[in-house]
Chains A and B, each alone.
Chain A
Amino acid sequence: MKIANKKVTAERLVKDALAKAKHFEDYHIFTFIDEEGALKRAREIDAKIAKGEDVGRLAGVPYALKDNFLSPRGETTASAHILEGFTAPVTATSVKKLEDEGAIMIGRTNLDAFAHGSSTENSYFGPTLNSHDRERVAGGSSGGSAVAVALDIVEFATGTDTGGSIRQPASFNGIYGLKPTYGTISRYGVVAMASSTDCIGFFTKTPEDMDLLMSVASGQDPKDMTTLPDYYNTEAGAKSDNSRLAPSRPSLRGSGAHSAPVVADGLESSDSCTRTIGIIKEFDNESVHPEIRRALKEKCELLKKKGHEIVELEMPALKYGLAAYYILVPAEVASNLSRHDGVRYGFRSDKAVDVDSMYGETRSEGFMPENKRRIMIGNFVLSSGFYDAYFLKAAKARTLIVEEYAKAFSKCDFILTPVSPNPAFKLGEKVDDPVAMYLEDVMSVSLNLAGVPGLAIPAGETPEGISLGLQLVGPRRSDKALLEFAKELE
């Protein structure tokens, strides 16, 4: 990425980004653009550069912020009516880390309200258009961020991935999108969706840029108890280019609510750079778009030519990942979104006559239909009488999925699979059919349930010019190795 220096000023980089944002205004990428604030910040950085001061590893780099990250610059709405008017009094740890290194936020990007969706059509502000075909969806939920990077408006954008919300829009727009290992980047100051699967990550045009951002943003945060000690910037992470991943990992079976500590998947030294790549048998059938199957086959051939080995994996429990996901995540959503009640911040309905109607009217007017579906499903699967049949059953299915990944990574170093069964679909095609929309997540959600990292990589286009993407999946804490290996697939 272009970093500001004495020759290329931060002001120039920011002005270019702002001009491009304006040029692509009708794609509905941004919910807020901070021209004045971004230029002010750029001039401050240029002044420091002129004085020869340290300006950081991301000096003057314009970026776009998914509108579910808190920062006092602009309202944080999560593209939901219920958060309209909410200007955060705190800054997300991830935002602070990026800005401490000199990155400049030029605007906030559109998403499916509260990150509930796979197309960015569930936004209160209307859908973002696909970067390659304006009649198609951007993907979601981080659709605005993906399109901002794909159209080259900014060098990178932030995203959140609870079940595919970074990887799927990245693949729908032909760029890189990383969902790191669960707990790699602090979630402090990011609007919560489902706390046991929410991950912070990025969109970039190259694996190298992603590596830089990961090295800036990773690490333990006292404000988020579920952050891992920094593994990304340690020696084990850095050695990934000449190491082989550990052949086995301890099982999470029996972890329960108070999970026993699990030893991380380490990286073992080896002289060989060749890898074993697993292909999931259950994801290679008629239900997957022929162009995606072709792209997967081509990448496998490329890897074989480079001396890597391809093995077929049987992962029968993954088939149930989507059903488990759409039980566990709504349950967490129902809990996390109960805080939006019109009392302390955001929108409050004028129809309120007493405190009960304040809750009811505010939440009814403030949430999008998909938010309501998920909250109600969450309350359904948690209700007495249904808890064992749905929530507990799904939590057990999650154990089987975790074990299935553990088994898979005893046979291969990485897994290469589609991100979604179809490339970007037409606007309006699935928005009124929740189950059809959910089915687009069938290949992405199991990673979140298992906590493993996944990198969406570009994989060409269909003959009509629609972007194709695949995802590279690794064991926990293999994020650096994943990015390193992604270069083999370019």
Chain B
Amino acid sequence: MDIKREDIKHLAELSEFSLSEKEIDSLQGDLKGIIGYISQLDELDTDNVEPTYQVFEMENVWRDDEILPQEADREALLALTKETKDNQIKVPKVL
């Protein structure tokens, strides 16, 4: 299928990327090639075949609903971020 520059821009938006014009160009070529390759699945007959999303053998692994001690406390987690204020993570303006 044809992958247009507009398609790349849309996918970049879905992916939260700010791409340069040059990157859009090279990704257009790359994605066209990859989508061309994966499209060969069209050849495979999958009529009446159910999908498999995971291959783990167990279903519904339960645990008790209780609060367990955590390895990392609030202070350790906040220390990982770039900026904090009043014990909260600070980000650039939202609105």
Interface residues, chain A, CB within 8 Å of chain B?
Answer: 86-87, 89-91, 182-183, 196, 222, 225-226, 228, 252-264, 317, 320, 322-324, 326-327, 334, 338, 341-346, 348, 352-355, 357-361, 363-364, 367, 369, 372-373, 375-377, 379-381, 383, 389-390, 392-400, 402, 433-435, 438, 449-451, 476
- How many angstroms between the C-alpha atoms of A23 and B41 in the bound complex? 48
Question: How distant is B33 from chain A, measured CB to nearest CB, in Å?
Answer: 5
Within 8 A of A (CB), among B27-59: 27, 30-31, 33-44, 46, 49-59
B42-85: CB near A (< 8 Å → 1, else 0) gives 11101001111111111101010000000110001101111000
**Do residues A361 and B18 form an inter-chain contact, with CB atoms below 8 A?**
yes
Contact of A228 among B31, B35, B57 (CB under 8 A): B57
**Do residues B59 and A435 form an inter-chain contact, with CB atoms below 8 A?**
no
**Do residues B37 and A182 form an inter-chain contact, with CB atoms below 8 A?**
no
- How many angstroms between the C-alpha atoms of A277 and B56 in the bound complex? 25
List the count of A-B residue pairs having beta carbons below 8 Å apart: 198
How many positions in chain B have a CB within 8 Å of any CB in the partner chain?
A: 53
**Do residues A183 and B57 form an inter-chain contact, with CB atoms below 8 A?**
yes
- Majority-rule SS of B interface residues: loop
Contact of A398 among B52, B58, B61, B91 (CB under 8 A): B52
Point out the residues of chain A lying under 8 angstroms from B86, CB to CB: none
Question: How distant is A201 from chain B, measured CB to nearest CB, in Å?
Answer: 16
**Do residues B56 and A358 form an inter-chain contact, with CB atoms below 8 A?**
no
Question: How distant is A242 from chain B, measured CB to nearest CB, in Å?
Answer: 25
Point out the residues of chain B lying under 8 angstroms from A399, CB to CB: 49-52
Question: How distant is B8 from chain A, measured CB to nearest CB, in Å?
Answer: 8
**Do residues B52 and A393 form an inter-chain contact, with CB atoms below 8 A?**
no
Nearest 5 A/B pairs, CB to CB = A395-B51, A451-B55, A360-B18, A89-B72, A396-B46
**Do residues B33 and A434 form an inter-chain contact, with CB atoms below 8 A?**
yes
Q: Determine the residue in chain B with the shortest Cβ distance to A326.
A: B38
Q: Determine the residue in chain A with the shortest Cβ distance to B82.
A: A348
**Do residues A182 and B81 form an inter-chain contact, with CB atoms below 8 A?**
no
Contact of A354 among B12, B27, B77, B92 (CB under 8 A): B92
Q: Determine the residue in chain A with the shortest Cβ distance to B51.
A: A395
Question: How distant is B52 from chain A, measured CB to nearest CB, in Å?
Answer: 4
**Do residues A435 and B37 form an inter-chain contact, with CB atoms below 8 A?**
yes
**Do residues B34 and A264 form an inter-chain contact, with CB atoms below 8 A?**
no
- How many angstroms between the C-alpha atoms of A438 and B37 in the bound complex? 10
Can you pick out 29 interface pairs between chain A and chain B where the beta carbons lie within 8 Å of each other?
A: A90-B71, A182-B55, A196-B53, A222-B63, A252-B55, A253-B50, A254-B50, A255-B52, A255-B53, A257-B54, A326-B34, A327-B38, A343-B81, A343-B89, A355-B92, A358-B92, A360-B17, A363-B15, A364-B18, A369-B27, A376-B27, A377-B35, A379-B14, A395-B51, A396-B51, A433-B33, A434-B33, A438-B34, A450-B55
**Do residues B80 and A86 form an inter-chain contact, with CB atoms below 8 A?**
yes
- How many angstroms between the C-alpha atoms of A367 and B12 in the bound complex? 13
- How many angstroms between the C-alpha atoms of A327 and B38 in the bound complex? 7
